[in-house]
C-alpha cells in the first residue's frame, strides 16, 4: 500500500486503534506510518507500553495470537518507534507525515530486514526479545 496523504495515514492509525484495519494493511510501511502519526499527534500513545497495548489488542481483535512465537514483539516495536521518532525529528513540523514516511521508506529503514543489521537473527527472534527490550548485538542503533 502506498500511503499518499496525511489523511490516509491518520485513517490507517485510527483503524489500527479501533481494530477495524484489515490485517493485510498492517504492513511494514503501515507500522511506520502509524508510529510517525502517533509521534506527531498522539505522543501519549507512543510510549512503548501504550503502543504495546494498541498492537496486542489489535492482534487479538484480528485473530493473531500474542505468544512466544507470534504476535506482539517488544524489541522490534521499541526499535521501530525509536527509528520513527528519530526520522520525524529530522523533519520540520510543517513537513507532511506522508513526505516523512516516503523519506523513511526510501532510507535503509524501508527495507523489511533493516533490524538484521543490528541484531543476530537468533537474538532478535528469541522469546526474551519478544517479551522485553534486548539491546542490539551486532552494532548500536544510530538513534
Q: For every one of its 143 residues, what pLDDT tens digit does the chain have, with 9 covering 90 and above?
A: 455 799 999 999 999 999 999 999 999 999 999 999 999 999 999 888 899 999 999 999 999 999 999 999 999 999 999 999 999 999 999 999 999 999 999 999 999 999 999 999 999 999 999 999 999 999 999 98
Give residue 79's Cα distance to chain centre: 8
Q: To which residue does cell 548485538 refer?
A: 137
pTM, full prediction: 0.92
Identify the CA nearest to 55 among candidates 127, 47, 112, 115: 47
Q: Which grid cell sits at 65? A: 495470537
Please state, as a whole number, how many other Cβ atoms lie within 10 Å of the Cβ of residue 83.
22
Amino acid at each position: 500500500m502506498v500511503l499518499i496523504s496525511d489523511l490516509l495515514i491518520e485513517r490507517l492509525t485510527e483503524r489500527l486503534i479501533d481494530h477495524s484495519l484489515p490485517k493485510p494493511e498492517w504492513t511494514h510501511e503501515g507500522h511506520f506510518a502509524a508510529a510517525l502519526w502517533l509521534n506527531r499527534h498522539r505522543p501519549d500513545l507512543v510510549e512503548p507500553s501504550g503502543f504495546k497495548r494498541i498492537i496486542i489488542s489489535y492482534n487479538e481483535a484480528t485473530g493473531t495470537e500474542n505468544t512466544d512465537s507470534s504476535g506482539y514483539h517488544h524489541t522490534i516495536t521499541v526499535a521501530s518507534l525509536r527509528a520513527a521518532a528519530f526520522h520525524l525529528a529530522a523533519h520540520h513540523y510543517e513537513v507532511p507525515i506522508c513526505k516523512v514516511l516516503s523519506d523513511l521508506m526510501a532510507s535503509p529503514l524501508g527495507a523489511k530486514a533493516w533490524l538484521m543489521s543490528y541484531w543476530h537473527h537468533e537474538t532478535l527472534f528469541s522469546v526474551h526479545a519478544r517479551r522485553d527490550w534486548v539491546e542490539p548485538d551486532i552494532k548500536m542503533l544510530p538513534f
